Amino acid sequence: MSYVSPPDVVRSMVTAGTTKAGLSTGQLVLRSTFSTFLLGGATALAILATAQTGVGVVGALLFPLGLTVVVLLGVELLTGNFGLIPLAVIHRQTTAGRMLRNFWWVLVGHVLGGLLSAFFAASLSSRLWTDLSDPLAQGIIDAAVSKTLAFQELGAAGGITLAFLSGVFCNWLVVLGVIMGMTSTHTAGKILAIWMPIAAFYALGLEHAVVNLFVIPAGMMLGAPIGLGDWWLWNQLPVLLGNLLGGLLLMALPLYLAYRPAPAEAEAVSPRW
């Protein structure tokens, strides 16, 4: 049968977290750089589709292509790891040191991949910065401004809090999508299960730290009036923290506690970095 029961899904989550925590630094950077290109391409497609049709739901229905491929190929996604690796730590399959090492190097890869994919998107959509009339270029600029300066207008408390809460809700849906991909053994079933939560997050306009590592730099490269401080203060840092708490506390951890495997199923690892 293609359906995987919740207890087996939780076992798969712990196993995936353990595997990811044990990857080498080179593999973490390579896989996370690659995944950001996938997400950047899907985001550009969604922005262009929305600009061309004027219907946001069209972009939302196309956007999940990126995360679906990320999950199917098993490459690294920090926001997904926020939900998986802590469970392996709790289940004594890996250590907190290995978890933090994974988070850091995956973030490094995402930054590299975000900057590179942003450069390609900006240069192509602007015809090497000679024409900004392309709907993709304008869509990226508008998205980057809405993710930074729009929060800034709300003031320190309001803007940062809103970005944080948007990140919380966003990664609740992203980790749900990652987990739903484990509920089927058939590729078609995995794709369908992943697609809907990710389409929902895009349609709701929520904030995803990895996607923003593509969108905001691309907007800056296209001339959006955003500074480095605007990027990280009003979006990247609060969204990153929100993604961590939302994916772990609202989705992965409750499911783990509901269907926790017996301790005897896992062999504890020694605590080393």
Residue-wise pLDDT tens digits, 42-89: 999 999 999 999 999 999 999 999 999 999 999 999 999 999 999 999
Whole-model pTM: value is 0.94
Neighbours of 105 (CB within 10 A): 22
Report residue 80 as tokens. Answer: 């997904």
What is the structure's pLDDT at 153?
96
H helix count then E strand count, the chain? 13, 0
- Alpha-carbon span 12 to 212, nearest angstrom: 28
Q: What is the dihedral of CA 221, 224, 229, 235, to 10 degrees?
A: -100
Kindly report, residue by residue over 89-121, the tens digit of the pLDDT.
999 999 999 999 999 999 999 999 999 999 999
What is the structure's pLDDT at 218?
98
pLDDT of 269 strictly over 60: no
What is the structure's pLDDT at 200?
97
Kindly report, residue by residue over 216-247, the tens digit of the pLDDT.
999 999 999 999 999 999 999 999 999 999 99
Residue 56 half-sphere exposure, CB side, CA atoms within 13 Å? 8
pLDDT bucket at 263, cuts 50 / 70 / 90:
low
pLDDT of 268 strictly over 60: no
Q: Which domains does the chain show, CATH number per domain?
A: 6-262 (1.20.1080.10)
Kindly report, residue by residue over 169-200, the tens digit of the pLDDT.
999 999 999 999 999 999 999 999 999 999 99
